[in-house]
Structure 1
Amino acid sequence: MLLWYFTGNPARLVQNAGGGGQDVIYQSHHARNVSEQTVHVLDTEKSWLSTTSLRLSLSSMLAELSSRKMGLHRQKKLPAAAVNSTSAFGISINTPRLDRNIDRQDWIPQMILAPSTSVEDQATCFFFGNYISGTEMLNTCGNYQYVYAIYANQTVGIPLRQAVTAIGLAGLANFWSAPNIMAKANGAYCSALRLVNSGLGNIEEAKSDQALVAIILLGLYEINTSSGRRSMKSWTEHILGATALVQLRGKDSLSSPLGRNIFVHLRNGIVRIPILEILVVDSENIQIASCIQRHTAVPNSITELTKISLQYESPVEAASTKLGLLITKHAALRASMKEPQDYENTPSIIRSLQALDQEYLEWTHALPPEFISTQVPVSEGARSKDAYGTHYLQYSSIWIASIWNNYRCARILANELLLSHLSHSRNNIPEIDQQPYENILDTTITTLHTLSNDIFNTVPFFLSTDTNEAPRALAGNLTLWPLYLASQTSGVLDDVRRWARERLRYIANTMGIRQAEPMVERLTEALDSEVRVLGDSVAEVSMKEAL
């Protein structure tokens, strides 16, 4: 393998020799005073990777690193004070979830800060309070718990620290409406990206846990600070870069709990967010669920790594992995179609989609007890605001709830496609032959209604219950796309869409997750329009327009 990386001079690339057959090339480009990094991943053995392009967009010119030393220390725990801090501050990992009618300033997690606490330390505190799940989940794959493990047990490098700082500063800037803090966030982001780029010149560093995590966090920064097409495109490109590093790391990285946790989270991100988007990149990509939308099959290497990870996983983690493998099968079906409206093969497609839907349903019948939900009554005062209906669904953790919503989103997309083909068939065959299709159509409509309602009923658990397990910003990120998809599913009433729009507005304005803004705009436009668009499906077209 030849590993190329950007060294600060756009005209200069440094070549390092290694093993394998893959080239990773970093280049620098400048346009309209915005610096961009481009990564081309070239694989001589697999055509699906031959045109992959990763564009890591910067929101400002690269900032110089602060000369302040953070103080690197190894610790086994991260109790009240964060590692690598120059001043003492405390943070409760088990911070309360969002309260109703909360002010922005009150939304910040409770912190015990010394008067001299730097803004960078406050940013780190914000990140841990909002993205690290409760202590009872620290050994569970699926979210950002591995960052806790790295801070507690490793000497944390500057690139990862800068990425954490960037996310924390962006959160503080959003809630305090402070442009000066956002400027610091942009500087930290640019610094982290530059350092990651330079670190890729060393193959061992490129394969490290911290390099991979830093890139994942840079993608999270894009989601939180940008809206619309650029945000999702930039997130996708960061994930493409992270996925390339996963392949470079190989199966050996799955044998350690930390490496496996990082892989599972990356895989869950691949399944969770791209399944709800129509990607706008031109190149082939290797994300599992996005392949459903792009009509491309999932590369065998990603599938094989997923299967290898199963042998190390707990029953809960294995359930998530098996869902990912089902979505891989879903992607293969879409890849086999010339286009979503491949009506020449409608009978065969209907049979395949019915079989796939049955497999999704069977997945729910073999889940461990941790996946059981309970119905919680909603007070009259909270109805039509925090919840739509008389009850909401409560789970053992937000990770379990997000896995359920991944399942619902995937199954909604399958049933929307099935609905499209059933509707076409009903309109193009003699009336005497329509009854079998009518029966399937009724079942499909009922399934879509149930799945979308179940997503709506998870929203209070993520956003506005009184329990204290879920970090706040993480809960908003996990709610965002499932809620939007459910609101655009066929048959959803306008009153429910209005409620969903206000929940998305809450995520955008109060939680500061800017990717929700175009979703609010799209829902407003759809509610104002008397014409419903029918394309790939109501949900898919709406998601495409939101991007």
Structure 2
Amino acid sequence: MVYCGKPSRGCQMCRTRRIKCDETKPTCNQCAKSRRQCPGYKDEFDLVFRNETQATERRARKANKKALSKAGKLDGEGSEGSFALNPAVAKDVVKSPMQQAIIPALNVPVETQASCHFVSNFVLMPRQGSTRGFMDFLVPMIKSEGPESHLQHAFNACSMALINNRSASRNRFADKALNEYTQALMGTNQALRDPEQQKTDSTLAAVLLLGLFENITAKQIGMLAWGSHIEGAIQLVKQRGRKQLRTKNGLMLFVAVRTQMIIHTLTTGKAPIMGVEWWLTDAIKDQSAGDCQRIMIKTGELRAEVTRLMNSMVRSPENVEIMLNMIRRCQTVDQEAVNWMRNVPEHWHWKTVAWEDNVPNGDYSKAEVYPGRVDVYRDFYIASVWNMTRTARLILASLIVRSAAWVCAPIDFRTTPEYATASRTCMDTITDIIASVPYHLGWHLNKPHIVQRANLGQFACGEEDALKSLAGYFLTWPLSCVMGQDYTTDNQRAWTVGRLRYIGNDLGVKYAHILADLQIRIPSMMIRRDGLMASPYGAAHNFEKLTSARTTAPTPGYTMNPLQQREAMHKEQFEQSRADLLAKAAGPMTSHETQWVAQSWLTLPERSSSIPTAPHC
């Protein structure tokens, strides 16, 4: 396969006109100035894997003409002016273009293309002198495993799913991806039944890949299975114990599971198992990133505790003091996040390189940059850690406001000083996250006059100065948090939804589509949810009286006593309010997937669960 030079990323019109394209999306400015219709850009994958058949045929025809000309001259040397070919010579010389091809056309199997595409988009290698990476344990681990191993099938499933999500593939490889996923699932389940196999690195890596497959495909089965895969990985890490940290692969797998565990606990409201120190002791690859994850784990613990208290406590002087203490604890962790931002190393600092004033055509959903500043970072791993800390601050602010609303009820929580402080913090944090998005999504790659030698990171293969699916994958969580904030403006929300759509359509991370359909508003919906879950007995201090009322005989003519009737009415009201809240959070394009995500984010109980009707003892 010959090297044909660096492929042009310009639009087809500019390439045909042989002029430099500014590569502005969705349409370039060169076409707009000349009032031509811009046909758009080629798929990133097609730029790397180009079909050389036609070029080979052209070279063959050229070589054929030269051979014919040379043969004619040789045959005509004996008679002046004669260029007739000798039939014997013509028989050997005249061949079809493909027969004359010096280098035959390269036919790369789709499995190989898929593997290269996945590795070049998701396997981030550590830079020299750094330990930061993502899935960098995969390449050496797959080489050591057999071609029919459950890890290989899990890798194949992710690869085929990612290449299937490209617009040019037209969903041709969905069946192959699902077949590989099924084989990986069967092999992994079989390994989990073996006490020795379940503790191996390959089994844990396969479980992580299965979870990634769910996010890439975002099918109905995937949305319900993602959480179970992550919870399974957490249990495997727990069983493997501290000795897993002694090997390089073991440590990398542990850090990968820890990252997924943090996102899982924050989205579901479940408390992290084992506590902060168990997850961090002797397992820090990068001190700055480790300090960020410490803040995130503490945030997950606080969210789970606030939700537990909201579900169980009744109003009393003692419980009011407990909620005030929760506010102070959240403020303490938030201050840790502020200190982290102030004290990160110099090379972790971001830099503002541009300021955008306008949105093309006034359509925020299609704009590459939101009006305001544009920040760049050393690499998008650092940018993603910054955004993790920022999302922690957003969550902590919502917990503070929720707790303040519980304390001051029935007074409007928006009159509290906690709400005023949270508003300022969240609006500034939202601005910071939005300013980082263009860098994540490759805005700087076509701006060499603004950003010198900036790239997204070092990947296992492929071009470095190209947009990566991993960058979009890291962005889904911060963008969804921004989209769901009460403090986000309508224009900011429209732009954020557009970026999530772009990640789903162009980068192949379909989970972003589900997040874009959500209509969650935090903390207002959480406060409403807290009101739905509150005990109906605001003054239920006399537990004995409450218990005796529950066992009283039914009223004549009724099947339930007065207390039971009241509980039934409350349950019916709760179910109706719960359904309304869930429908509003899931948005107008209601689907099973969006309902599942909305229910997880709002930590709503299953419909079959009982409604708390008495304080916990």
Describe the shift of the 1:483–1:132 C-alpha distance in structure 2 as closer, same or farther (beyond 3 A). Answer: same
Using the TM superposition, name which of 458-467 and 133-142 deviates more. 133-142
C-alpha displacement of 1:324: 4.1
Residue of structure 2 in register with 1:488 after alignment: 484
1:169 aligned onto 2:160: yes
Describe the shift of the 1:107–1:500 C-alpha distance in structure 2 as closer, same or farther (beyond 3 A). Answer: farther
Residue of structure 1 in register with 2:386 after alignment: 404
Alignment of 1:122-521 (within 5 A): 122-134=113-125, 136=127, 140-141=131-132, 143-151=134-142, 158-175=149-166, 176-227=168-219, 230-272=221-263, 274-275=265-266, 277-278=267-268, 293-294=269-270, 297-300=271-274, 303-310=276-283, 313-331=285-303, 333-334=305-306, 337-339=309-311, 344-345=319-320, 346-378=323-355, 384=364, 385-423=367-405, 425=407, 428=410, 438-465=416-443, 466=445, 467-470=454-457, 472-521=468-517
1:180 is paired with a residue of what secondary structure?
coil
Equivalent-residue separation in structure 2 for 1:298 and 1:217 (angstroms): 21
Describe the shift of the 1:108–1:246 C-alpha distance in structure 2 as closer, same or farther (beyond 3 A). Answer: farther
Q: What are the Cα deviations for residues 395-415 of structure 1, in whole angstroms up to 9, with x where unaligned? A: 222222222222222221121
Q: Is the 8 A contact 1:150 1:156 kept in 2?
A: no
1:190 is paired with a residue of what secondary structure?
helix
What percentage of residue pairs aligned between the two structures are identical?
Answer: 23
Q: Is the 8 A contact 1:174 1:512 kept in 2?
A: yes
Q: Aligned match of 2:528 in 526, 535, 541? A: 535
1:390 maps to amino acid: G
Q: Is the 8 A contact 1:341 1:421 kept in 2?
A: no
- For structure 1, the residue ranges without an aligned partner over 5 or more in a row are 1-87, 91-95, 279-292
C-alpha displacement of 1:173: 1.3
Q: Is the 8 A contact 1:449 1:492 kept in 2?
A: yes
2:399 maps to amino acid: L
- For structure 2, the residue ranges without an aligned partner over 5 or more in a row are 4-8, 10-22, 27-39, 52-104, 446-453, 458-466, 531-580, 587-593, 599-617
2:136 maps to amino acid: Q
Residue of structure 1 in register with 2:608 after alignment: none
2:173 is paired with a residue of what secondary structure?
helix
Q: Which has the larger radius of gyration?
A: 2
2:273 maps to amino acid: P
Describe the shift of the 1:404–1:135 C-alpha distance in structure 2 as closer, same or farther (beyond 3 A). Answer: closer
2:332 is paired with a residue of what secondary structure?
helix
Equivalent-residue separation in structure 2 for 1:508 and 1:111 (angstroms): 22
Report the aligned-residue RMSD: 3.8
Matched pairs, number: 427
Equivalent-residue separation in structure 1 for 2:170 and 2:132 (angstroms): 34
C-alpha displacement of 1:154: 6.8
1:234 maps to amino acid: A
1:115 is paired with a residue of what secondary structure?
coil
The structure carrying a bigger helix percent of its residues is: 2
Equivalent-residue separation in structure 2 for 1:195 and 1:109 (angstroms): 35
Describe the shift of the 1:532–1:249 C-alpha distance in structure 2 as closer, same or farther (beyond 3 A). Answer: closer
Q: What are the Cα deviations for residues 33-68 of structure 1, in whole angstroms up to 9, with x where unaligned? A: xxxxxxxxxxxxxxxxxxxxxxxxxxxxxxxxxxxx
C-alpha displacement of 1:474: 0.9
The structure carrying a bigger strand percent of its residues is: 1
Q: What are the Cα deviations for residues 176-228 of structure 1, in whole angstroms up to 9, with x where unaligned? A: 3433311111111111111122223443332221111111011111111125x
Equivalent-residue separation in structure 1 for 2:278 and 2:388 (angstroms): 20
Equivalent-residue separation in structure 1 for 2:527 and 2:304 (angstroms): 23
Describe the shift of the 1:380–1:493 C-alpha distance in structure 2 as closer, same or farther (beyond 3 A). Answer: closer
Q: Is the 8 A contact 1:159 1:192 kept in 2?
A: yes
Q: Is the 8 A contact 1:219 1:238 kept in 2?
A: yes
Equivalent-residue separation in structure 2 for 1:257 and 1:146 (angstroms): 9
Q: Is the 8 A contact 1:100 1:464 kept in 2?
A: no
Q: Give the number of the structure with larger relative contact order, counting CA–CA contacts within 8 Å between residues 6 or more apart.
A: 1
2:282 is paired with a residue of what secondary structure?
helix
Using the TM superposition, name which of 103-112 and 254-263 deviates more. 103-112
Q: Is the 8 A contact 1:223 1:514 kept in 2?
A: yes
Q: What are the Cα deviations for residues 75-97 of structure 1, in whole angstroms up to 9, with x where unaligned? A: xxxxxxxxxxxxx999xxxxx9x
TM-score (norm 2): 0.61
2:378 is paired with a residue of what secondary structure?
coil
Alignment of 1:65-76 (within 5 A): none
Equivalent-residue separation in structure 2 for 1:341 and 1:404 (angstroms): 35
1:415 is paired with a residue of what secondary structure?
helix
C-alpha displacement of 1:364: 2.8
TM-score (norm 1): 0.68
1:244 maps to amino acid: Q
Describe the shift of the 1:459–1:141 C-alpha distance in structure 2 as closer, same or farther (beyond 3 A). Answer: same
C-alpha displacement of 1:241: 1.4
Q: What are the Cα deviations for residues 14-39 of structure 1, in whole angstroms up to 9, with x where unaligned? A: xxxxxxxxxxxxxxxxxxxxxxxxxx
